[in-house]
């Protein structure tokens, strides 16, 4: 799983298609970040800061 900077879906699809062979990608899926993923990421950042 990877996170990418915000952009348009068209930009993301273009980037993936341009680099598909170079990165040896056969298939890919794009989905929105869930509220749970945001919460877990935020919690990890806070935990890392406190340590």
pLDDT digit of tens for each residue in the chain (51 aa)? 666 677 788 888 898 899 999 989 998 887 888 999 999 999 999 999 998
R_g over Cα of the chain = 15
Residue 21 belongs to a domain: yes
15-51: string of b/e by CB count within 10 Å (b at 16+)?
Answer: eeeeeeeeeeeeeeeeeeeeeeeeeeeeeeeeeeeee
Say how many domains are in the chain: 1
Residue 3 belongs to a domain: no
In angstroms, the CA 38 to CA 20 distance is 28
In angstroms, the CA 28 to CA 35 distance is 22
The pTM of this model reads 0.47
3-state class (DSSP) for residue 37: helix
Residue 46 belongs to a domain: yes
Residue 17 belongs to a domain: yes
């Amino acid at each position: 799983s990877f996170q990418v900077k915000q952009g348009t879906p068209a930009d993301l699809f273009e980037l993936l298609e341009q680099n598909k062979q170079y990165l040896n990608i056969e298939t890919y899926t794009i989905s929105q970040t869930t509220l749970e993923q945001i919460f877990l990421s935020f919690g990890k950042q806070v935990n890392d800061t406190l340590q």
